[in-house]
Amino acid sequence: MMTTAYEIARQGGKHKNFLRDYEKLPDHLIEKSIRSIGKQIVAHETWMVDPAVKLGQAHRYSLERLEQYRAKWSKDIQRQHEHIDILKSILEDRHG
């Protein structure tokens, strides 16, 4: 079984500070954060498909530079999914 971002954070690994900060918050703020991060994921996915949405005149960038942006956005999306996993797990732990 794959270890979740939440389990890794609880063990003091990656995202431990994110977990520590968010587990103090009330449910409604955690739920709001989940929605907000979800919107960020959609934005990043849009940029991956059409970098001009984020960068403006994307044709001014080299293909190499555009690929660097896409790689960064891909990592951002992965991190955001991990954050959502952590937030949903906090709520699940609270409410079974």
The domain containing residue 23 runs over which residues?
A: 5-95
What pLDDT, on a 0 to 100 scale, did the predictor assign at position 24?
A: 96
Residues sharing a CB contact under 8 Å with residue 59, sequence separation 6 or more, in sequence order: 52
What pLDDT, on a 0 to 100 scale, did the predictor assign at position 12?
A: 96
What pLDDT, on a 0 to 100 scale, did the predictor assign at position 2?
A: 65
What pLDDT, on a 0 to 100 scale, did the predictor assign at position 79?
A: 98
What pLDDT, on a 0 to 100 scale, did the predictor assign at position 1?
A: 58
Report the number of distinct structural domains present in the chain.
Answer: 1
What pLDDT, on a 0 to 100 scale, did the predictor assign at position 50?
A: 94
What pLDDT, on a 0 to 100 scale, did the predictor assign at position 58?
A: 81
Q: What distance in Å separates the CA atoms of residue 26 and residue 30, rounded to the nearest whole number?
A: 7
Stretches where the chain sits below pLDDT 70 are 1-2
